[in-house]
Structure 1
Amino acid sequence: MSEALISALRPLLPKGLALAACDPAAEAKGLWPIETAAIARAVPARRREFAAGRRATRAAMAILGLPPTAIAMAPDRAPLWPQGVTGTISHSAGTCMALVGLSEHWAGLGLDLEPALPLPEDILTTICTPTERAALAQDPSGLLSRRLFCAKEATYKAQYAQSRRLLSFHDLEITFDGSHRFSAQLQIACPPFARATRFAGHSLQAGDMLAALVTLPRL
């Protein structure tokens, strides 16, 4: 599945970004000491997932010609990117992906992976704004709810590199343009981003997986 996702995502990547994947079910190996310490108390499944994310990150960095290094975990549990590097890591059943770029060119990156299944009905009001809920009625596939969730998660990750602020689901409103593109509009001010700021993203499906991608160029 990761091969199909990577094949679908790579044509959407701007020049200068690198994407790599690892199996989160594989043995939790390849960690540097500071990474091992960060998950010392984690359950085995979490250790395998974490290790896959770090291996994928180093593989993506190698594509850019960057040397391998530890990717520590910050107090907020986000990856602590090396000097000059920014990125995003996403996990889903069967795959873990890392997207990496140079921070001199990219202010933030966001990638999210989700199963191609509708969200449970009982959480739709938590995830979706009233406008988004209205759009769900026009979706015969039933997948729009999950696509909205995936797009919001990718946007949260991308903006967090600059704002360091956790947003609620109603703080963003997603609009799809009928193809692979979407717009995520801030419903609040989130410095350095003003209220009504729009983030552009891509949404796609590969087999039984959905992916959303947001890249914020350095201005």
Structure 2
Amino acid sequence: MIERILPLAVASSYEYADVLDAELYPEELTAAADQSARRRGAFTTGRHCARRALRSLGVAAGPVPVGAVGEPLWPSGIAGAITHCDGYRAAAAARTAEVASLGIDAEPHAPLSASVLAAVALPHERDQLRALARARPALHWDKVLFSTKESVYKAWFPLTGRWLDFAQASVRFTPVSAPDADTGHFSARLLVPGPRVGHRCLSTLEGRWLVAAGLVLTTVTV
């Protein structure tokens, strides 16, 4: 499903439930050693999806270890991301010659708590969410915003090696024109100095969102 909001250069794979017979490489087993059974199932299936995405690119399947802050470490020349939530696990990967970095996120399509929304949304973003909710009340726009900022961070971190707080990116949504459409685009303006990619310094990250099958999915490609 996430392939609907990814460019053709990006390979993806997903599962709606854990793949019970999926195997981990030794370095992945070490990372998963202290995880609960539920967390380990999601971790294992995420790596399973990652290897399928890599094979789609013609890259030999191998370990996808865990970095210092929990990020997946992809083979040289590959940009990628992994996500998992209740009922969905997915991975996406692309060659860095075509995509410098990418982020994906999946969340249940349910509202955020007031405390989480307060931490995630800037004042003008809350105004935007209220306007969007009036136009499209069936969508939980607060969760779309949360997922968007998760994808933004996942695309940001491999380029910078730095944390990006929720308050350090300002998101603007562009729904498609059809009143019942479940997808659209967004832009995230960085409120801190952006990374340099090639000959340009990034000030904005662009992406897409999708609400379907009880899930919110978001993607960012750089």
Other-structure match for 1:122 = 115
Partner of 2:82: 89
Task: Find the aligned partners of 1:105 and 1:38 in 2 and give their Cα distance.
Answer: 30
**Residue 194 of structure 2 contacts residue 203 of structure 2 at CA under 8 Å; is this kept in 1?**
no
Q: Kindly state the Cα deviation for residue 196 of structure 1 after the two structures are TM-superposed.
A: 8.1
Quote the residue 1:182 is aligned against. 186
Tell me how far apart the structure 2 counterparts of residues 46 and 24 of structure 1 sit (CA, whole Å): 12
Q: 1:26 to 1:36 in 2, by over 3 A?
A: same
Matched, 1:131 2:124: yes
Q: Which residue of 1 aligns with 2:211?
A: 205
Name the amino acid aligned to 1:12: I
Q: In the alignment, is residue 150 of structure 1 matched against residue 126 of structure 2?
A: no
Residues 59-91 of structure 1 deviation map (CA, whole Å, 9 limit, x = unaligned): 111111211111111122111111121100010
Q: Which structure 1 residue ranges, 4+ long, deviate > 6 Å from structure 2?
A: 193-196
Partner SS, residue 101 of structure 2? strand
My pick for the range that moved more, 44-53 or 115-124, is: 115-124
Q: Which amino acid aligns with 2:60?
A: P
Task: State the aligned residue count.
Answer: 209
The correspondence for 1:160, drawn from 154, 157, 164, is 157
Question: In structure 1, what is the Cα distance between the partners aligned to 2:36 and 2:4?
Answer: 36
What does 1:13-162 align with in structure 2 at a 5 Å threshold? 13-27=6-20, 29-138=22-131, 139-140=133-134, 141=137, 143-162=140-159
The 8 Å contact of residues 109 and 216 in structure 2, kept in 1 or not, is answered as yes
Q: Distance in 1 between matches of 2:80 and 2:203?
A: 21
Pick one of 163, 167, 172 that aligns with 1:170.
Answer: 167
- Per-residue deviation at 1:209? 0.5
Consecutive unaligned residues in structure 1, runs of 5 or more: 1-5
Maintained 8 Å contact 1:22/1:55: no
Amino acid aligned to 1:198: T
Q: Give identity over the alignment, percent.
A: 29
- The residue type paired with residue 186 of structure 1 is L
1:126 and 1:11, CA in 2 relative to 1: closer, same or farther beyond 3 A?
A: closer
Question: Normalising by structure 2, what TM-score?
Answer: 0.87
Q: 1:78, 1:196 → 2: CA distance? A: 21
Q: Under a length normalisation based on structure 1, what TM-score does the superposition of the two structures give?
A: 0.88
Q: Give 5+ residue unaligned stretches, structure 2.
A: 177-183
